[in-house]
Structures are given as C-alpha cells and as structure tokens.
Chain A
Amino acid sequence: MILFKAILLFLTIITPLKANTIYDLIKIPNLEIYEINTENKLRYLYATKPFRLGVNVKYGHLKNIHCLNPNKKTLDSKYKIIKRNLNRYSSDFLKRINLKYIVLCEDLSIAKINTAGIPNNLIRTLILDIEFNENYFERAIHHEVFHIISDSYKEFFNENEWKDFNKKNFEYTKCSTCNKKWDLALYSETKGFLTEYAESTASEDMAEVFSHLMFYQNKINSDDPIINKKIKFIKKNILKIDNNFKF
C-alpha cells in the first residue's frame, strides 16, 4: 500500500510541466500571442500547431473541438478584418460580457461539423475560424460575440420570451445542427426569420438578429412585425448591459 501511494505521488509530481502562460489562462494548447496591445484590451492569439479541446458531453469528456494552425498570410489579412469588427466593442462592454481572448485558427470544427466560431464566456474566449465562408465572415464574428453576450446575461435573453415572438405553430429544432438549415443568406422575404439558420434554435435566431444589426449598422428596414419585435428585444437588452452601446 505504501509503495502504491509512493508511485501515485511520484506520478502526480512528475506530470508534464506546462510552463505556458496562455495555457494556464485559458486552457487551450499550442497558442502564441498575435497582438495584445489593443485599444479595447482584446488579446489576439493564434494557433502555432493544430489543437484539440474537450467539451463535456453526456457520456464523458471528449476532445471533439478541433482547429488547425493558420497560414501566416491568411492570418495577417484576416486579422485586420477581425480587429476592425471587434473594435466596435468597447473595453468596458467586453469586460461586462466576459470576452478577452480571441483565438485565431483554421478549419475549426466541433464534432466534425465546421463552425465559424466557438464562444466560451467562462474562459473569456472566442475561437474564430479565419477561413470561414467569405460571404458571411464579418457578420459571423458578431454572431459569435452575441453568444458570449447571451451566455453572460442569460436572464436578459430569455428563450421562452423570444419564442413567443414567432407564429404559434412554429417550433425550433432541438439543436443548431439537428437539421440542414445552415444557410446564412438573408431572406428576401423574412417571415419572422432573417436567415434559414435563424430557424434552427432561439439562441441562433437571436444571434442572427444581433449580427445583422451590427453588420448592417442598424439599417435593417423591415415590414415584418415579428422581425421588428425581435430587433426591439435585442436592442433593449443590449442597452441594459451598456447604455452607451452603438449598433
């Protein structure tokens, strides 16, 4: 028994030393600093090697988030676009919503499904795929930021209240990837939803409304009463977080 304890203690003590400040802070391996001296205090990191991350799933702990290290040229050009979009959020607002680290990588996927970004307000981090669909790349940044916002302020973005805006016979799917409604193109005729993807879940619907408000800088003219209610809801609750917020 003593020998067993000694071996166990030895194994505990000699666990590989991860003398990596970034890993200690956000628990994502293989990252380096891209830029940390920014106006709104966001810290941009990039993957130097592919990395895998775990998320808690029903039957255990799987490392099902995967991303590759980006090409330097792509990284430099996309960084400018990302920074320009994220600079619209003040440092004060970012602090309130718990966003501090932006991880830039390529070919980001969760459970082998490609995604624009993975937000996690607990580690104050947003992982972004810099090679995400060019047509929606900028808007997707704001979409993912919204998930950070809503995760930090669940009390403001109540999904049941949101669902009541929709027609009575409408039901969202159980998850954002539970069907093939992934198109991000703006509907010419909205019928309560801005995009096909907005029809997947209440959370994605909110994120789509927010991202359109941000991307089109508050110039969504809609005759759709449902969309108008949704816009009003998003604006009202974002302003509760920061009264000086500008769409």
Chain B
Amino acid sequence: MIKKIKISRSERIILIFIIILGVFSLTSLIIIKDKCLFVKNYNPSNIQFDNPQNIAVLNAECGNVIIELYPNVSPNSVKRFKTLIRSGDYNDVAFHRVIENKIIQAGDLEFGKRENLDYGRVGTGKSGLGTIQSETDGNFKYKRGSVGLVRSFQMNTEDSQFFITLKDEPLFEGEYTPVGKVLYGIEVLEKIKFIHKMHIVPRPDFINSFKMLN
C-alpha cells in the first residue's frame, strides 16, 4: 500500500516562492523585451500644424517621428527629400548607421533596402536622381532632432541619405545641408537599434513608412 505523504509547511512555502519567482521573471522578460513599452506614439491627425504641407511622418518600430521640413532654409534639398518621401522610396530602408545618443543615418535606397540589404556596401548607394548642391548658408542651428542630408567628404554630393541628430551638433552648422527638425517622437529614434563599437548595424531596424502629411 502506498502511503500518501503530506507536503510540509516549509515545502509549501518554497513551492509558492518558486511559482511567484517564475511569474515575476516571465512578466519582467516580456516587459523588458518590449523596447517600445514606454515610448509615446504620436498620431499626427491629433496635432495641429502651422505648415501641414511641410510635415513628414516617419514610422519606425516604436512609433511615429513627426518632422517639419524647412524649404525656406534649403529649398532644393527639401524638394529632393519630399520627392523621395512621396515616391515611397524610403519605405523599408535600414537605419544602417546608428551611434548611441549621437546620430542615426538612413536613406540608402540602393543597398539599404530590407529585401536586398548589402552590408558590404550600405551607405554608398545612390538614388538614381543624381547628387545635388549643398545648401549650408541658411541660418540653422543643429540642435537635437535636426534632420540633414548626408554627403561624402566633398560638398555638393548630397543625394538620398539623411541623418537625424540625437544631440546638439554645432560643428554641423555650415557643413551639412539641413532639411528639417523633429517636432515629436525623438524618443522613437532613441530606440533604434545600435551596436557599440560597430560602424554598420548588423540586422538593423528599418523605416516602416515615410510619408508627407498632405
């Protein structure tokens, strides 16, 4: 005959403790894994803009980044930027160069697309529209959230790549063509994947969509 062994009080406490610990660990894992949990997602249709025709909305993993473009500061560059946004060319393009708390870079339409990301060449691709002249004479302060066009070491080589600053960059003034500023959602950009000490982000985050508001 098998004798039924009654669970002791101390054993019961340990069992409850293990169950609580398990539940706590699992919950923490889910919360921590969701990097977007505390990031506010702005809905542009709930916001009033002074110049809605110059508002662009970039959607990334953690939500919307609402950018105001400045055609009065750099008319030709904003025109190019708007053309590429309207054509949908920036959709599914990688944030290929991300430096923590400093800068994020995207917009390589040739080698940065989700379906044919080329790690060896990303950052060197072209749009096919040709390069444009730098517009660096305008009065623009490169504060946190400024959006500018990437160029090579030489001036007048801007094309489709752009960057957004995550900190003030006074040395950029007069060096890089500004196109706009982030109005809402800079915290979305701070969640973009980066890797310490790596020049190019492996398995990077992507732009889900980039559209003009109007």
Contacts and interface: CB of A to CB of B under 8 A. Distances in A.
**What's the dominant secondary structure at chain B's contact region?**
loop
Contacts of A25: 171, 175
Interface stretch (A12-20, A164-172, A184-192): A12-20
A100 B173 CA distance: 12
The size class of the interface chain B forms with chain A is 10 to 19
B73 interface: no
Nearest to B201: A13
Interface string A1-29: 00000000100111111010110010100
Contacts of A36: 170-171
B35 to A, nearest CB: 21
Contacts of A21: 169, 171-172
Given A9-B120, A12-B120, A17 B99 contact: yes
B125 interface: no
Interface residues of A, number: 17
A235 interface: no
Contacts of A12: 119-120, 200
A9 B119 contact: yes
Interface in B192-214: 196-200, 202
Contacts of B202: 13
Nearest to A8: B120
B99 A13 contact: no
A36 B172 CA distance: 11
A157 to B, nearest CB: 23
The 5 closest A-B pairs by CB, nearest first: A19-B99, A21-B171, A17-B197, A13-B200, A15-B199
Interface of B: 99, 102, 119-120, 153, 169-172, 174-175, 196-200, 202
Interface of A: 9, 12-17, 19, 21-22, 25, 27, 33, 36, 41, 43, 100
